[in-house]
Each structure stands twice: as structure tokens, then as C-alpha cells.
Amino acid sequence: QRLKAAVHYTVGCLCQDVAEDKDVQFSKQTIAAISEITFRQCENFAKDLEMFARHAKRSTVTTEDVKLLARRSNSLLKYITQKSEELASRNMEQKEKKKKKSSAAKGGRTGEQETAVTESEDSNMA
Amino acid sequence: ERRSSSLQHKSALFSCVTGQKQIRCHKNWSLSPEEFEIWDRLYRIKESDGVKEPILPQVHFETLENLEEISKHDEKATHELSLSEWRIWQNRPFPTSMVDHSDRCYHFISVMEMIEVLRHEQGNCSYELEIQPHLRIEDVNVQRNKSHLSVTNST
């Protein structure tokens, strides 16, 4: 329920953006339906990602698995691929920076950047 | 009259597969002359049939630049198969033969049922009321909330 509430909130915000952008209104029921669909779609995604990773004999889901989710539409696949390249290059930059930093002051946490990545990927999928 | 003749010819097709002579011409990926004749006579849609050629709707992304080429087809000559025309039937599982419903199919059915329930609501949304107490603000990306939503500020 807590997860559903978070999804519902975020869907509400996104719908608000679209509503302003397109000058249309969403009923509360529409937003509720979209958020329930999103919630359930996450289940589909999660199962598929797990299977894709396992199919490649991995236990860690990677961006390649995420790309497979988008395989049915060329436009979507292109978009996701672009995003993942952006992320990858940004990660590289950050790692470079981290290296410099950690060599200067010994002890940077790598956990931080990783959570940032997974978060933005989540919002991509939703 | 078409149906009965097509039944006859289904068995004819079977015998084509089993029969010695036909197996020879069946090795290609394409139809053999006999098969082509059957297809042409029984299944192929012609102008005289008065039915439009069925086509499937194409993927289209509203929020993305679309790469898929739009296949040119004559609107009047084709019948685009609709996936939403019979939506009021879709809040229950349809019968299956050999293939069970998938999880995503059941998700679809439940959401259709949920929409059916919500359809009759006016004003306040029961889903929202049920779920709102569980919202933890640390779960969500608060920066997004530039404009005030009725969904969010009622707590």
C-alpha cells in the first residue's frame, strides 16, 4: 500500500505536468487507473528483467535487460538506448571525478551514485 | 456455403500433407500450386467479397519521436482491428482453449474491472482515499511537485 501510494503520488505529479502541457484535465479516477496500471506494469517489468538477466546467466539486472523491455517499439528502444548511453557517460565522468577525489581525500562512497542511477531508471520505465 | 466447403478443404489440406505426391511440392517455404489454389478460392479476400482487408493498428508513441514508418494503406479498403471497441466485455477473463491467460492479461482484466468500478464515481476517488494514508513523503521525489495537486495537498 505504501508503494502504491508513492506511485499514485508520482503519477499524479506527472499527469499534472501533462495536463498543463496539453491543456487537458485528468479526473482523479483516471489518475488512479493510470497509477494502478503503472504499479502492475512494474510487476511485469520486474519478472521480465529477472528472466532476461537469468537468460544471460547473470543474477544482476543490467541496462541491456532494460533495453529488451523496449524491444517492440523502435522509437522507444532508441529513446531508452540514448538515455542509457547518457547515463553511462555520466557515470564514467563521475568515476573519473571520484578517482581524483578519492586520491585526494581517501574515502568516497560509491553507493551514492548507484542509487541515483537506479532511481532514474525506474522513472524511465514508469 | 463457404464454411462447409472450407471444412471439406481442410481435410483436403491434410491429405495434401500426408499424400505422397504432395509432399514433394510442399518442401518450399511458399505455397504449392494446389495450396495456392485452395487459398485463392477459400481464404483470400477479394474485392468481390465486400469485406475489408483486416489490418492491425500500428505502434505510435505520443511523447516520443516516431521512427516507425507509417505504412500507407487505403483507409476505406481496410478494416483496422480495434482493441478497445469491446472494452466493456473485458473486465472478466475470456474463455481459453490451449493457452492460459498470462499474468499481464490478468492485470489487464483487473484494471478494466477497477475502471468499471471507478466509472460510477463522482468527485472523490475511492482509490485515492484508500491509498493516501500510506503515503510516506520520503518515498517520492518531492522536487517534482512544483504545482499543487489536489491529490497531494489534501493530506
CATH fold of A1-58 reads Histone, subunit A (1.10.20)
Closest residue, chain B, to A16 (C-alpha) = B149
Burial, B125: exposed, middle or buried (Cβ in 10 Å; 0-12, 13-18, 19+)? buried
- What's the DSSP call for residue B86? T
* pLDDT tens-place string over residues B43-58: 998 888 888 889 888 8
**pLDDT by position in tens, chain A (length 126):** 888 999 999 999 999 999 999 999 998 899 999 999 999 999 999 999 999 999 999 999 999 999 999 998 888 899 999 999 999 999 888 888 877 766 655 433 333 333 333 444 444 443
Helices (H), A27-110: 28-55, 63-69, 74-104
Reply yes or no on whether the pLDDT at B112 is more than 50. yes
Residue A37 forms contact with B (CB below 8 Å):
yes
Considering chain B, what is the average pLDDT of its residues?
Answer: 76
A71 touches chain B (CB under 8 A): no
In this complex, which of A8, A20, A74 lies closest to B67 when CB atoms are compared?
A74
Q: How many CB pairs under 8 A join A and B?
A: 106
Q: Looking at residue B13, what is its pLDDT?
A: 47
Q: How do residues B131-154 score in pLDDT, each as one tens digit?
A: 888 888 888 876 544 444 444 433
* Model pLDDT, residue B27: 75
Residue labelled with grid coordinates 518450399 = B28
Burial class (CB in 10 A: 0-12, 13-18, 19+), B33: exposed
Q: Which residue has the higher pLDDT, B129 or B21?
A: B129
Distance from CA of B143 to the nearest CA of A (A): 10
Instruction: Tell me the domain boundaries of chain A.
Output: 1-58, 62-99
Judged by a CB distance cut-off of 8 A, whether residue A47 touches chain B is: yes
User: B102 falls in which pLDDT band (50, 70, 90)?
Assistant: very high
